[in-house]
Structure 1
Amino acid sequence: MVNNPYSICVFCGSRDGGKPAYAEAAEQFGSAIAHKGWRLVYGAGDVGLMGRIARAAQGSSAQTFGVIPIHLFEREVGKRDLSTFVITENMHERKKVMYMNSDAIVVMPGGAGTLDEFFEILTWRQLALHNKPIVLLNIEGFWDPLLSLINHVIAEGFAEQDIRDFIQVADDVPALVDLLSKAST
């Protein structure tokens, strides 16, 4: 039986965003994944933060598992030189394959797609469909408004406190790696 490495599903932007710190964090985290002997599971794009984290992970000899829906193959420039490359029919199947092949979920800065991925994984956790760690990489406070919104939803009675308790927050890559290291043991 082959032992699979601890696998980190990373949801992040297909753009670099407006601050250099986002790209730097993606590259730093990609390298850290490799140095820890973990596997990167991500959206298989070769653009934006997705491309940066994958290239950094590959450059440090990490296993990479990419999943991309056929309709985004050209738009996100599907990165074919990954350890594992999967093409799905749609976005929902992409999220499911990424989730099923990971042990923890990291959400880096990103746009509407990243938010969709985060909320689906959080909802699955709320419904007790999984118990995987969910960590927001809150570079330069990027996710502060989201955390305020979640606290507002709780305060207004639309969710219990446990929904916030399901989310861990790391303000930088070393803190993120520390949280994931503790979860992986």
Structure 2
Amino acid sequence: MTTIKSICVFCGSSDGNDIQVEEKAKELGTYLAQNDITLVYGAAKIGVMGQVAQASLDQKGKVIGVIPEFLKLKEVVHLGLTELITNENMHQRKMTMQEISDGFITLPGGFGTLEELFEIITWSQLGLHQKPIGLLNINGFYDDLLKMLEHMVRRGFLKMENYELLLVDTTVEGLISKMKAYKPLDVPKWLKGDRT
């Protein structure tokens, strides 16, 4: 079993137009707080990001926001967080989020959300971390993306073992259960310095 004391959530800074996304975001925030799991996220008070954070804070959960200085200036930062970490740029932000989190969950979002998901899963594929990565597929939002990943496997561009790094579920409890049961891949020999 993987010990999970903190989860980084990647999600949109927009609300979207599906009420189920809003409901699941709040459910996730509530679940994390009630199970003493720290929420790590992008520090915004708006969109799905804000909904997850506020739900967690409403249940007295610990919420850590990580934001680059230039976004802080846009006045989207949530001022009621347990802790706010400010970085110089987006890359440092993602490095910090990875370092202080025991796992990752992606909710619906746009380009930025997908970029965060694919960077963190690429780092896992390369053996840079061995933490569970979850995708909460709310109301079929990521159905087409999952089909695309399956297509990449069939066409020989994605190994099945790397495809399986992405844990998928439609429920909060189901996804976190999969994350706790996650067994990471072995670190590649070349990363250990083993050239044999």
TM-score (norm 1): 0.92
Task: Point out where structure 1 has 5 or more consecutive residues left out of the alignment.
Answer: none
1:52 paired residue number: 51
How many residues of Structure 1 are paired with residues of Structure 2 in the alignment?
A: 180
1:13 paired residue number: 12
* Secondary structure, aligned partner of 2:167: strand
Counterparts of 2:75 and 2:119, CA distance in 1: 21
1:33 to partner: Cα distance: 0.2
2:173 paired residue number: 174
2:44 alignment partner AA: G
Counterparts of 2:173 and 2:166, CA distance in 1: 17
1:181 to partner: Cα distance: 4.8
Residues 1:116 and 2:115 aligned together? yes
* Secondary structure, aligned partner of 1:8: strand
Change (3 A) 1:125 1:22: same
Aligned pairs for 1:62-141 (under 5 A) are 62-75=61-74, 77-141=76-140
Task: Point out where structure 2 has 5 or more consecutive residues left out of the alignment.
Answer: 183-196
Residues 1:37 and 2:36 aligned together? yes
1:74 to partner: Cα distance: 4.0
Counterparts of 2:14 and 2:130, CA distance in 1: 29
Counterparts of 1:160 and 1:53, CA distance in 2: 33
Change (3 A) 1:177 1:157: closer
Segments of 4+ moved more than 6 angstroms:
none
Residues 1:155 and 2:154 aligned together? yes
1:152 to partner: Cα distance: 1.3
2:8 alignment partner AA: C
> What is the percentage of aligned positions where both structures have the same residue?
42
Q: Are the counterparts in 1 of residues 167 and 175 from structure 2 also a CA contact under 8 Å? A: no
Q: Are the counterparts in 2 of residues 7 and 40 from structure 1 also a CA contact under 8 Å? A: yes
Counterparts of 1:175 and 1:58, CA distance in 2: 22
Change (3 A) 1:169 1:15: same
1:27 paired residue number: 26
1:87 to partner: Cα distance: 1.1
Counterparts of 2:178 and 2:42, CA distance in 1: 22
Counterparts of 1:76 and 1:143, CA distance in 2: 30
Q: Are the counterparts in 1 of residues 167 and 179 from structure 2 also a CA contact under 8 Å? A: no
TM-score (norm 2): 0.87
Q: Are the counterparts in 2 of residues 44 and 68 from structure 1 also a CA contact under 8 Å? A: yes
1:119 alignment partner AA: F
CA offset digits 1:20-71 (Å, max 9, x no partner): 1111111111000011111000000000011001101011011111001112
Q: Are the counterparts in 2 of residues 46 and 76 from structure 1 also a CA contact under 8 Å? A: no
Counterparts of 2:181 and 2:132, CA distance in 1: 10
CA offset digits 1:126-168 (Å, max 9, x no partner): 1011111000000001111111111111111112111211011
2:159 alignment partner AA: E
